[in-house]
Amino acid sequence: MARRCLKLTHVASTIWFVICVGYLLILTLHQLRFHWWLIFSLSGQSVIVIFVLISLYLFALFRGVGGAQHIPVEHPFTSTRSYMGFYVAAPLLGGLAGVAGMIGENIHQFTLGVALGTLGTTFCVWVILDPAASLIETLLPTSRQHRTARLARAEAERALLREKRDGLLAEAVAREEQEYERWRQILQPQAERLAALLTGDTADSTLAEQEAADIGARAWQLGGLSCMRQLRDMTVAIVNDRKDRTDTDYVSCWWDGIGDWRRPSLE
């Protein structure tokens, strides 16, 4: 209930503050001999911009009032409900002060005094008093010790998360290397057979293509596309070591359509 009351009070204070600022703006323009039709025209064109700015301002303040408030240990004064109530109600309190100070004046002086009281009180509380109070609180020994300990704990938690992440990454890399080594031992005979098919006289024959497709299918069943790529790389390495290089990548053509394997584009 207290948090809800703070939000409602802040909405009312903000609306009242905007009304007072708008009144002072219009009054200033009128005193500078601007035509009334020009004032209303400017206000009409600016209503959307004003609405967006007020919405963003309310959203930011709602987050401050509703959730991430100051830590009580570090801000023993400004985090209290009494202070937060005073903070959000500053425009209304300024308006009340203006009403009390302008009793007996004519309507023009009365409205001007109320608007100036609202603007002055809000400025003093939101721009001067609140930052100064927060700064003084951060200089207190208890606040400084708690903040230092909190930052140290946060840094330790981040370091622990990084350590866990690095450990998981290292385990994944180690498992991948072990898997590749296991595949290498299994695929070595098949890679030598593919190299023989690539460099032999029957490299373009239907029988060689069928045998190469069978080898690629077994590699796909063993470890998917990664296993097929490793087998192809091993085959190319064997062919290069033998200095029997071929101009065409027959392996990619033979395996086209097996699992997710696709022949490279000619473009």
pTM of the predicted protein model: 0.52
Answer with the residue of higher pLDDT: 242 or 159.
159
Give residue 173's region: left, alpha or beta (phi > 0; psi -120 to 50): alpha
pLDDT value of position 201: 53
Going by C-alpha positions, the residue among 143, 20, 6, 24 that lies closest to residue 76 is 143
Q: How confident is the model at residue 168 (pLDDT cuts 50, 70, 90)?
A: very high
Q: What is the separation of C-alpha 114 from the centre of its chain, rounded to a whole number of angstroms? A: 43
Q: How confident is the model at residue 60 (pLDDT cuts 50, 70, 90)?
A: very low
Answer with the residue of higher pLDDT: 249 or 89.
89
pLDDT value of position 266: 47
Residue 146 has pLDDT above 60, yes or no: yes
What gap in Å lies between CA 115 and CA 19, rounded to an integer?
Answer: 8
Average pLDDT over residues 20-33: 76
pLDDT value of position 32: 61
Q: How confident is the model at residue 164 (pLDDT cuts 50, 70, 90)?
A: very high
Going by C-alpha positions, the residue among 255, 257, 256, 262 that lies closest to residue 214 is 255
Which SS3 state, helix, strand or coil, does residue 158 take?
helix
pLDDT value of position 176: 84
Average pLDDT over residues 231-259: 76
**φ, ψ dihedrals at 266, nearest 5°:** -85, -10
pLDDT value of position 213: 86
Write out pLDDT tens, residues 195-222: 888 777 554 567 888 888 888 888 888 8
pLDDT value of position 47: 57
Instruction: Specify whether the CB–CB gap between 204 and 233 falls below 8 A.
Output: no
For residue 106 the two structure tokens come to 């004519």
Going by C-alpha positions, the residue among 99, 100, 118 that lies closest to residue 20 is 118
Average pLDDT over residues 51-68: 51
Write out pLDDT tens, residues 64-92: 444 434 678 888 888 888 888 888 888 89
Residue 55 has pLDDT above 80, yes or no: no
Return the exposure string of 234-250: e unless at least 16 CB atoms fall within 10 Å of the residue's CB, then b: bbbebbeeeeeeeeeeb
Instruction: Specify whether the CB–CB gap between 75 and 143 falls below 8 A.
Output: yes
Residue 60: how many CA atoms within 13 Å on its side-chain side? 7
Least confident span in 26-40, 95-109, 138-152, 232-246 = 26-40
